[in-house]
Chain A
Amino acid sequence: MSEPVKVAPAQAGLAPLVLTLIELIRQLMEAQVIRQMDQELLTEAQVNAAATSLIAMENQVLRLCETFGIDPQDLNLDLGEVGKLLPDRGAYYPGQPSPQASILELLDRLLTTGVVLQGEVDLGVAGLDLVHARLYLMLSTHTSLRTPPHATP
């Protein structure tokens, strides 16, 4: 097997940001799988397939970190009073209380409960309004969509 091509850290460009986003989504999916597994909504085959995919994604992220000369620890961002982007290892388990706030936990809980976002965006240049977007966005999991509101955990 050939050695991976390595990129100098100064040339990594947006790679750390993209990898951070990928890792956030990967951990978010992992949390959602755990929730569904704990509720016994998944078959053994589905659990095995999910684990295989998540492990493969994690290995891919680690390999890309090595290629771009990024310390995997640096993918986690400290956002001050808001907390960290990702929880420390073992600090969060879906559905359990967590003493350390993180964006991942917030997103996981929001997805589980379901949230509706409404807003308007105006894009323009040099004082000219060019694009107007009105957004109605509903974020939820497939599970909570299928579950009656009073039964949502």
Chain B
Amino acid sequence: MYAFALLAAPPPAYVGPGLAGGRVMFWTAGRVLAAVQPDLDLTMLAEETTALEAVVDHDRVIQELFALAPVLPLRFATVFSSADALSEHLLAHQDLYLARLDQLQDRVEFTLRLTPVVLAPTVANAAEGRAYFQQRKQQYQQVQDRQQQQRAEQEHLFTHLQTLGVHYVLEGERVHLLVPRALGVFLIPLTHWEVTLTGPLPPYHFV
């Protein structure tokens, strides 16, 4: 049984299509339910021609559910061997899932991409003799100073986010933020970084 996400009962009024136009249903066990597509042909998940479209559909279903209710997104291709196995799993972990859904109900995820602004050193290149080589050192020092300023600005941003109660996970140049839904502006102006913000998204990185 293919599963998209876990939610708290009662089920939302979701009528959108699932993978390959199939029907999404809600399987309830106790006070937790799973958004599932019971009749999915699982071979489409492994075939190159259909898998990419399935990934996009999986994400779309999660985002549409997220617009209606708090969700715990499941990874693409999460499959339970049977309805009984799903029920057993939900009942065994319902307290954990309900507690997590309660923590996440008023929060949304944003993805922040920080790209350092690269500026060429402003120290000119037109000297002669010893000054020519000393300019290399000045250029190096200028780059080091800029990188230090970038690190300081990044640390200031993270301290600011912590004071606002925003949790974050670092992943290379990307930072995944778990932001209270009611919070308006949560970023500060950055001069040494190019900033790209994507969201609001389901809490993919905080489940």
Number of interface residues of B (CB under 8 A): 17
A93 to B132, CA, bound (A): 13
Quick one: which of A57-92 are within 8 Å of B by CB? 88-92
Query: Closest chain A residue to B119 by CB distance?
Result: A90
**Cβ < 8 Å to A, chain B residues 169-183:** none
By the criterion CB–CB under 8 Å, are A37 and B129 in contact?
Answer: no
In the assembled complex, A139 has its CB within 8 A of some CB on chain B: no
Interface membership of B120, Cβ < 8 A: yes
Name the prevailing secondary structure of the A interface residues. Answer: helix
With A88-B118, A99-B147 known as contacts, the answer to whether A93 contacts B140 (CB < 8 A) is: yes
The listed residue (B128, B133, B140) touching A92 by CB distance below 8 A is B140
Decide if B130 is an interface residue (CB 8 Å cutoff). Answer: yes
Q: How far, in Å, is B172 (CB) from chain A's closest CB?
A: 13
A52 within 8 A of B: yes
Does any Cβ of B come within 8 Å of A54's Cβ?
A: yes
Indicate whether A48 sits within 8 Å of B129 (C-beta atoms), given known contacts A89-B121, A99-B147: yes
Q: Of B118, B120, B123, B133, which one neighbours A47 at CB under 8 angstroms?
A: B133
Closest Cβ neighbor of B118 among chain A residues: A88
Query: Once the chains are docked, how many angstroms separate the CA of A62 from the CA of B120?
Result: 18
A27–B121 alpha-carbon span in the complex (Å):
17
Q: How far is the CA of A55 from the CA of B120 in the complex (A)?
A: 19
A96 at the interface (CB under 8 A from B): yes
Would A90 and B128 count as touching, CB distance under 8 A? no
A88 to B118, CA, bound (A): 10
Complex Cα distance, B137 from A37, in Å, reads 12
Q: Which of A30, A52, A93 contacts B137 (CB 8 A)?
A: A93
- Which single residue of chain B is at the shortest CB-CB distance from A45? B129
Known: A48-B129, A51-B133, A90-B123; 4 extra A-B contacts, CB below 8 A, are A30-B136, A51-B130, A55-B132, A93-B137
Would you list 8 pairs from A and B whose C-beta atoms are within 8 A, ordered by A residue?
A30-B136, A34-B133, A55-B132, A88-B118, A89-B139, A90-B139, A90-B142, A91-B140
